[in-house]
Structure 1
Amino acid sequence: MTRLTHDSLSAMIDQGRGVADADLVLKGGRFLDLVTGELVASDVAISGDRIVGTFGDYRGKREVDARGKVIVPGFVDTHLHVESSLIAPQEFDACVLPHGVTTAVCDPHEMANVLGAEAFDYFLRSAETTVMDLRVQLSSCVPATEHLETSGATLRAADLAPYVGHSKVIGLAEFMNFPGVLYKDPICLDKLIDFQGGHIDGHAPLLRGKDLNGYLAAGIRTDHECTRADEAMEKLSKGMTVLIREGSVCKDLHALMPIISERTSPFLAFCTDDRNPLEIAEEGHLDFLVRTAIAAGVPPFVAYRIASWSAARAFRLYDRGLVAPGYRADLVLLDDFETCRVGATVAAGRLVEPTLFAARPKIAPIGRNSVKARRVTAEDFRVRSAGPSTPVIGIIPGKIITARVDLSLPFRDGEKFIDLDQDVVKVAVVERHGKSAPGAGIGCAFVKGFGMKRGAIASSVGHDSHNITVVGANEADMALAVNRLGEIEGGFVVTEGGRVLAEIALPIAGLMSLKSHGEVHDDLLPLRRAAREALGVTLAEPFLQVAFLPLPVIPHLKITDKGLVDVDRFELIDV
């Protein structure tokens, strides 16, 4: 909340008592009491950025007709990467506030892996201007691994220390390198020690038993990587807050629905992690998670509690999450309670209107010309081998976890080839930070599950080191797509038959567009159409699926610029 003076605090007291007109009153509606679960008919009075009155009638200097509406606390997205929305933080602000998201806890490690601490400076400058409350976690794993990939930057504990006291910083972001924690890597321990007593975000897919105990003993308190109900229940029982994720690729809400109850709701929260403008426009943001949970049988007040009060408490944001006097005036006015249809949003006591966004100072983009990959040819994607047998990355739709599939592929003259009959195409990662020696910096292997019959898809969004990842049924089209990304400063490209069919430029660190969220949405449509109709791709979100193939901290098989990675063994595989 904003710093108070005697005058502003006195005004809040008088307006709460009803002896002075409130700054803003939501008149004639009902609000959701997250303590009792009841819908209460009452005005809601606001002074400055604070709720000052409920359970009564109030007069306001400005009054908003809330008749027929239900007022709930603003939604808190507990874990996301703004970069994955493909838009800059100020555009993200304008994109998700109409969906009721008034607080977002972001980890800028996508940009940090490209630019280092400069990414923190950029996000903190942006967070000081946003209408929503954008909070920043300090990226713990830059790079995600030290020996399996080439990153654009490296951040140690000393690099994070200058940001700890910033008012927008919550704590240490998702600790992805859980093997580094368990095996007591000194670099990991330095960061964990510095943040003891503060918030440390977790990231521990499939971690169970005593290894989970050891991970938690390091002071880590949350996890957004649960994909099964039994895994989530074990983590809940051991004191973790489980962040239930429903993004554009990782869709865990239905799998985790069995763990949601009134009893567990104080220890649950919602997050999106990675959600693109197409799905935000077509489905929504956190409002989509709430309505989906309610439709599946979750009591509405439980779903709304998870989306607000429980989420805020998990991240020590104790000033928000209830419609009650003294709490931050982050509120959502619902046209329909059961379907979470958002009619209006109040952020820090301000009714969200276009004028709020227009009044913000503009933040200049950074990270231009960060795609420094060498030009490639079709020859760069040949896979030499002693025989036809090979481990293949198996796509699991809706998951970033991948399977290891051991297959026999066409083989001749010491080279393995694509096999469309087995739905196997090539995948390669090209180092793009300009750090590789000539002739090096390309890892090439095979992937199954795209349904691709022709052409190629390339992306400079490649979690988390953001080298260029390309998937293709034709090596020449793969090379064309990679080279085109260098020309447009990064983004997504679809090629087929020697032609670029569709593209979107993401020149901010090769991750985010200079355009508005509406324009990015419109640019993504022909990309999706080209992938499906021209290439035959069957995945719902192929571009984000491509982007997660080089993430070597998510089981079981991944690929980086150094080659194929057995994540379970944390080592490279010679294909």
Structure 2
Amino acid sequence: MPARHDEAFLARAIAAGAGEAPADLVIRNVRLFSVVDGSTVETDIAVTGDRIVGTHGRYDGETVVDGGGLTAVPGFIDTHLHVESSLVTPFEFDRCVLPHGVTTAICDPHEIANVLGAEGIRYFLDSSLETVMDLRVNLSSCVPATAFETSGACLEIEDLLPYRDHPSVIGLAEFMNFPGVLARDPKVLAKLAAFQDGHIDGHAPLLLGQGLNGYLAAGIRTDHEATTAEEALEKLAKGMTILMREGSVSKDLEALAPILTPDVSAFVALCTDDRNPLDIAEEGHLDSMIRRLIAKGIRPLDVYRAASWSAANAFGLKDRGVIAPGKRADIVLLKDFEDCRVEQVVSGGVLVSDDAFSKRSIVQPVGLDSVHVDAVNPSSFAIPARNSEADVIGVVHGRIITEHLKRTLPVAGGKTLVDLDQDVLKVAVVERHRRTGNIGLGFVNGFGMKEGAIASSVGHDSHNICVVGADEEAMA
């Protein structure tokens, strides 16, 4: 819940900061790292309410925590993610990633919105008022994401405007329909026009040249889809903030690490877009990105700046990103600075602990009956033979961008078959929202499967049921 900063609070904060009254919380004996100039100073950090009120001095407080020489850095900001894609609720996500130093997460409830529409967005907004971390929301701009698939909902500007002034809302989420922007689609323009005085998040893979100029002319200023240094540098040159991404599926850190230099670190931020619980447990979250970037020789100042101050500025969060009086008390205490090993976290003035999580009011879940599909059988996945090479989706490990391949496949009984020797399997998308019975069929390369099948109802962006298999019986 957002804190109140009325006259009484300001009087308390000023008195505590001036050393005339005890603060609510004092963290003693820390090494305060500055993301402004890279300096480190031994000091206390005083906190009143959710605000830092004192640094570079000694303070008394109602609660005193001995920092024991730990290094204090600003809380980390994940600038783009979909909490749903972490496969947990906002409350479990809160409990899962806050101990890794992520005190602010900017989410787009795009996935749940494509299934449930405005009900899904409301669930996230209600949850954002109860989490210990500051969970910020960009309103989903592209529901449905494409006209080529059946989603569970359609959100136009009239559906988004009621939430525009919610305290957790930053602006409009990733505008992935960049063809619609360039074509000046009226519905697209209506959404863009309504958020011209706020943040509009970008999503424009491989868009460069004058097409990129046209896209940016709509007031879009961030992008997490750059997959090469060359693409990122052109977007930086045209005023975009690059959100360097390293998630469970999309992995761009290796390609983009060279751009994180002293000259541009104020215009680069970090995001996960997204990590699953297993990867978070084994590797971490943004802390994993930070340690890997530093291990690659990137200057720690630039890495920690990108993880906090640069991110805050890119999204208009002027109250955070640096440990200084007057700023939000988002503080990460590190036992190992260069390896980014988190010992303790303060989020909005609250010491992160099991007790803090237990005090949250949990919002009741939604969408528990959102899968509506009839039974299928092996014949549902038959693909008629054609007198030409088959089109095959080429999946590339670690990349979100696929390839368009052509393959000659075996034919029997008037049907085109899989070819395990060429690693060509069948892929199908089964509509699960409206019981249309629609099934999209194709071939895919890159899975390496020799038998059986796998399926998931988690499938960006419409979340129909996707199944990949070596034979139709297993797929059914």
TM-score bin (small chain):
over 0.9
Counterpart for residue 215 of structure 2:
215
Counterpart of 2:440, as a letter, is G
Report the RMSD for the aligned CA atoms in angstroms.
0.9
- State the distance in 1 between where 2:468 and 2:197 align: 44
Cα distance, 1:60 vs. partner?
1.6
CA distance in 2, matches of 1:52, 1:226: 38
Alignment partner of 1:51 is 2:57: no
> Cα deviations across residues 129-153 of structure 1 (Å, max 9, x unaligned)?
000000011000000012x111100
Equivalent position of 1:173 in the other structure: 173
> How many Å apart are 1:18 and its aligned residue?
0.9
- Report how far residue 473 of structure 1 moved: 0.6
Q: How far apart, CA to CA, are the structure 2 residues paired with 1:183 and 1:7? A: 52
CA distance in 1, matches of 2:193, 2:21: 50
Mean alpha-carbon deviation: is it higher for 102-111 or for 55-64? 55-64
Looking at structure 1, the residues matched to 370 and 54 of structure 2 have their Cα atoms a distance apart, in angstroms, of 51
CA shift for structure 1 position 412: 2.4
Deviations 1:345-370 (A, max 9, x none): 00011110101111111211111111
1:322 aligns with 2:319: no
- Shift in Å, 1:466: 0.4
Does residue 468 of the first structure (1) align with residue 465 of the second (2)? yes
TM-score when normalising by structure 2: 0.99
Q: Give 2:250's aligned amino acid.
A: C
Asked if the contact 2:141–2:172 (Cα under 8 Å) also holds between the matched residues in 1, the reply is yes
- What residue number does 1:360 align with? 360
CA contact (8 A) 1:127 1:135 kept: yes
Task: State how far apart, in whole Å, the 2-side matches of 1:118 and 1:312 are.
Answer: 28
In structure 2, the partner of 1:68 is 69
Q: Which amino acid aligns with 1:30?
A: R
In structure 2, give the amino acid aligned to 1:269.
A
SS in 2 for 1:28: strand
Matched ranges for 1:340-489 at <5 A: 340-387=340-387, 389-436=389-436, 440-479=437-476
CA contact (8 A) 2:336 2:342 kept: yes
Hey, what's the Cα distance between the residues in 1 that align with 2:435 and 2:306?
44
**Alpha-carbon distance in 2 for matches of 1:82, 1:462:** 14
Gaps of 5+ in 1: 480-575
User: Deviation at 1:197?
Assistant: 1.7
Q: Distance in 1 between matches of 2:101 and 2:380?
A: 47
CA distance in 1, matches of 2:187, 2:413: 45
User: Which residue of structure 1 lines up, in the alignment, with residue 134 of structure 2?
Assistant: 133
Instruction: Kindly indicate whether residue 18 of structure 2 is the aligned counterpart of residue 17 of structure 1.
Output: yes
Q: Which amino acid aligns with 2:172?
A: L
1:489-568 equivalent positions in 2, closer than 5 A: none
Rounded Cα–Cα distance in structure 2 between residues aligned with 1:407 and 1:319: 55
Give the secondary structure class of the aligned counterpart of 2:251.
coil
Is residue 275 of structure 2 the alignment partner of residue 275 of structure 1?
yes
Measured in 2, the distance between the counterparts of 1:43 and 1:387 equals 75
Whole-angstrom distance in 1 between the partners of 2:232 and 2:6: 45
% identity of equivalent residues: 61
8 Å contact from structure 2 (residues 373, 435) kept in 1:
no
Deviation at 1:435, TM superposition (A): 4.4
Distance in 1 (alpha carbons) for counterparts of 2:192 and 2:288: 34
Partner amino acid for 2:469? Answer: G
> Residues 58 and 18 of structure 1: is their aligned pair in 2 closer, same or farther, counting only changes over 3 Å?
same
Residue 244 of structure 2 aligns to a residue in which SS? strand
- SS of 1:64's partner is strand
Structure 2 SS opposite 1:445: strand
Q: How many angstroms apart in 1 are the aligned matches of 2:448 and 2:292?
A: 28
Preserved contact between residue 388 and residue 409 of structure 1 (Cα < 8 Å): no
Cα deviation, residue 201, structure 1 = 0.3
Rounded to whole Å, the distance in 2 between the matches of 1:444 and 1:161 is 37
- The match for 2:28 is 27
Aligned length: 475
Offset, 1:40: 1.1
In structure 1, distance between residues paired with 2:457 and 2:412:
32
In structure 2, C-alpha distance between the alignment counterparts of 1:435 and 1:80, rounded to whole Å: 29
Q: What is the identity, as a one-letter code, of the residue corresponding to 2:377?
A: T
Q: Which runs of 5+ in 2 are unaligned?
A: none
For 1:202 and 1:367, locate their aligned partners in 2 and report how far apart those are by CA, in whole Å: 28
- Are residue 116 (structure 1) and residue 113 (structure 2) matched? no
Alignment-derived partner of residue 163 in structure 1: 163
Give secondary structure in 2 for the equivalent of 1:67. Answer: coil
Residue type of the partner of 1:471? Answer: V
SS at 1:384's partner residue? coil
Cα offset, 1:120, TM superposition: 1.2
**Which amino acid letter does the alignment assign opposite residue 329 of structure 2?**
A
- 1:429-480 Cα offsets, whole Å, 9 max, x none, are 00001241xxx4001111001110111100000101000000001211111x
SS at match of 2:344: strand
Distance in 1 of aligned mates of 2:125 and 2:261: 36
Does residue 248 of structure 1 match 2:248?
Answer: yes
- For residues 386 and 87 of structure 2, what CA distance do their matches in structure 1 show? 41
Residue aligned with 1:432, SS: coil
8 Å contact kept, 2:72–2:333:
yes
CA distance in 1, matches of 2:358, 2:68: 29
**CA distance in 2 between partners of 1:5 and 1:429 (Å):** 53
Kept in 1, the 8 Å contact 2:202–2:220? The answer is yes
User: Whole-Å Cα distance in 2 between the matches of residues 394 and 68 of structure 1?
Assistant: 51
Task: Provide the rounded CA distance (Å) in 2 between the counterparts of 1:64 and 1:410.
Answer: 69
Deviation at 1:68, TM superposition (A): 2.4
The letter for the 2-side match of 1:359 is K
Q: CA deviation at 1:85?
A: 0.6
How far has the Cα of 1:36 moved from its partner?
Answer: 1.2
In 2: Cα distance, 1:388 partner to 1:371 partner: 36
Per the TM alignment, residue 175 of structure 1 is displaced from its structure 2 partner at its CA by 0.4
User: 1: CA distance between counterparts of 2:434 and 2:23?
Assistant: 58
Q: Which moved more, 1:386-395 or 1:136-145?
A: 386-395
Aligned counterpart, 1:2:
3
Maintained 8 Å contact 2:78/2:105: yes
In 1, are the aligned partners of 2:111 and 2:461 still within 8 Å (CA)?
A: yes
Q: Which amino acid aligns with 2:86?
A: S
Counterpart code for 1:401: I
Matched residue SS, 2:427: strand
Q: Look up the SS of the partner of 2:21 in the other structure.
A: coil
The one-letter code matched in structure 1 to 2:225 is: E
Amino acid at match of 1:169: V
Task: Tell me the TM-score normalised to structure 1 length.
Answer: 0.82
Q: Distance in 1 between matches of 2:438 and 2:344?
A: 49
Q: Which residue matches 1:230?
A: 230
Q: 2:102 corresponds to which residue?
A: 101
Letter in 2 for 1:221: R
Instruction: Give the Cα separation in 1 of the matches to 2:289 and 2:256.
Output: 12
- For residue 43 of structure 1, give the secondary structure of its aligned residue in structure 2: strand
Q: Deviations over 1:248-274 (max 9, x none)?
A: 010001100111111101101000011
Partner SS, residue 235 of structure 2: helix
Equivalent residue for 1:89?
Answer: 90
